[in-house]
Structure 1
Amino acid sequence: MVQVAQVAIGLYGLQQWFDGDFAPVVEVARTAEEAGVDQVSITDHVVMGENTDKYPYGPFPAPLDYPWFEPLTVLAAIAGGTRRIRLSAGVLIAPLRPAVLLAKQLATLDVMSRGRVSIGLGLGWQREEYEASGVPWEGRYTRLEEQVRVCKLLWSQAPASFRGSTVQFERIHAWPRPVQAGGIPIWFGLAPSERNVERIAELGDGWIPMEQRPELLAGHIDKLRKAFVARGRDPQHLAVRVALRPVFRDDGTPDLEATLATIPALARAGVTMVEALPLIFCRGPQDLEAFCKQLVAAGRQAA
């Protein structure tokens, strides 16, 4: 069984360390890289409607004026300031970008990072975001599927033709292509419904669940592995990245040691990477290096 060995940090909220300036996130990534962290991840919202009370995962964690920085732009800046750490999103709301543009953006980022992209793709949850972007809310699952198929096609063929219900083209040429052999690994942030399990097994390389409970994750990951086998794919190649659920002390302060102690159970469930938010556990950038080293050590010990 594949177990946790890799760790990621989420970049959410780190502008709070720098009086609202997000540009120093490049140095944050560099520090994480030097401490052995495997991946950085950033969350996506193009715009935000006011109906945050409809967030399906509990209270929405950010105010309406929270600055959601565009992920591919941020990751490109980080690529230029680092050498090893991998670049991801949790998740990029793919249907809000045209399919051929998404393919070009991801391929360019992979070239500029020398093959360090493992992109997380999903659908988001807010209809208003789609409407403001001029993209239909209905049919978003089909749009996502076709986007991924278009990316894989353009990363491997020229001229390329595609005729789907949301995108069509004939004999187009798209360069550059990703540096990584076989294209960029695509991880889906989708609920583990029967249909989504099929989508991930057919088109994806990994899963980014919202679920954090090991006892439930184990069953979902088992279904995904079986779906991989049914398609002739090696289930050991399935990547699963889970955000650690923070543990808090009675006085409300975060307990890093207790939080990291949950990693072995996630490893036994089949999780291959855990993600933690420095914003929760660090008072500021002065705590980052020690935090990252503890996170890396906990991940490696669970392997």
Structure 2
Amino acid sequence: MTALISINLRTFAAADPGPGGWQPVLDLAKAADAAGVDKVVVSDHVVFGENLEAYGQAELGGMAGGRQPTGPDGHWLEPTTVLTALGAITSNLRLGNNILLAALRRPVILAKSLATLDVLTGGRVDLGVGVGWQAEEYEAAGLDFANRGRQLDHTLAVCQALWSSCPADFSDDQLEFSRIYMQPQPVQPGGVPIWVSGTVNPRAMRRLARFGSGWIPWGDAMAGDMESHIGQMREAVAGYDRDPSGLGVVGTLPIVRTDDGVDLAATMDSVPALVEAGVTDFRAHLPIPSDAAEAHDYLAQVVAAFRPAASR
């Protein structure tokens, strides 16, 4: 599996950026596409309550000690809409979520939207999913926060049923249908690849084994010894009768900073060992210039340094 380099696009703001304020997102995606970056990902929140401290509570699904990057009145763009816009102005970038709160969407509509996007982009879509941390978001959607994992599994099962056969049949304790037609189906065989976010816990690992093409580590699994965390993931997934050898893994590109910025050569020195450990998608949190032309040139240098390091 060839290792990819990807970047997060900041599709949220603490306040209304005003007319044209989101144009830099589009410009950066175009620059990344032209520079040879493999993938861009975007984040998701639909609505907010006021209990933002919950983000720092790992037991709720947040990041221990973490802080939500905006207030409750922050502006967050809807991810699938953003990826559709990006797909129209790029040619090669894979377009993904980090993460989509898929359980908040009606499964049949989500399946249709992502299949449409996959067709229009020639099969460039990845679906990254997680359960989230905010009870108010589920409550506003009329869903039980305590059952969010079960609802996510249901959503993914419906999507995969509609993506993998036509007509499709489906039955679980929430929904039943038979001989349902949904066309077009995704270009990618088997449907849009699903990347499951979570710690190495039984529910997330069972979800990864059942639905996943790749793993997005969360919490403690994002830091420290990636080889150990990947080994734990693979052992857990194998316990659910799934061969983990073909699963992709997201990892953070370890940035080596200097007084003058980023030492690209030193940064890439850690890549071969991470590839050997199983990382297939390197998220690069870099100081990318705001000017589009400068962003292109900078990212082209990053890609040129990354490729040989990832193939050693």
Interval of TM-score (by shorter of Structure 1 and Structure 2):
0.7 to 0.9
SS in 1 for 2:228: helix
1:117-128 correspondence to structure 2 within 5 Å? 117-128=125-136
Matched letter for residue 219 of structure 1: S
1:60-209 correspondence to structure 2 within 5 Å? 60-209=68-217
SS in 2 for 1:155: helix
With over 3 angstroms needed to count, the CA separation of the structure-2 counterparts of 1:72 and 1:207, relative to structure 1, is: same
Q: Deviations over 1:240-291 (max 9, x none)?
A: 11234656668xx86464655554453343211111245x443543431233
Structure 1 gaps of 5+ residues are: none
With over 3 angstroms needed to count, the CA separation of the structure-2 counterparts of 1:150 and 1:22, relative to structure 1, is: same
Q: Deviations over 1:167-226 (max 9, x none)?
A: 3334322222001112111101122213322220221000111333241x3223123334
With over 3 angstroms needed to count, the CA separation of the structure-2 counterparts of 1:125 and 1:294, relative to structure 1, is: farther
SS in 1 for 2:250: strand
Q: Which residue is 1:288 aligned to?
A: 295
Deviation at 1:298, TM superposition (A): 4.0
Q: Distance in 1 between matches of 2:207 and 2:306?
A: 28
Q: Distance in 2 between matches of 1:239 and 1:109?
A: 22
Q: Distance in 2 between matches of 1:172 and 1:282?
A: 48
Give the paired residue count. 296
Deviation at 1:137, TM superposition (A): 0.9
1:14-53 correspondence to structure 2 within 5 Å? 21-53=21-53
TM-score by length of 2: 0.84
Identity %: 41
Deviation at 1:40, TM superposition (A): 0.7
Contact 1:11/1:277, CA 8 A, preserved across alignment: no
Structure 2 gaps of 5+ residues are: 56-61
SS in 2 for 1:87: strand
Q: Which residue is 2:222 aligned to?
A: 212
Which of 296, 299, 302 is the matching residue for 2:306? 299
CA RMSD of aligned residues (A): 2.7
SS in 2 for 1:124: coil
Q: Distance in 1 between matches of 2:94 and 2:292?
A: 20
Q: Distance in 1 between matches of 2:291 and 2:70?
A: 19
Matched letter for residue 161 of structure 2: L
SS in 2 for 1:128: helix
Q: Deviations over 1:76-127 (max 9, x none)?
A: 1111111111110100000000111111111011011011111111111100
Q: Which residue is 2:277 aligned to?
A: 269
Q: Which residue is 1:240 aligned to?
A: 249
Contact 2:194/2:212, CA 8 A, preserved across alignment: yes
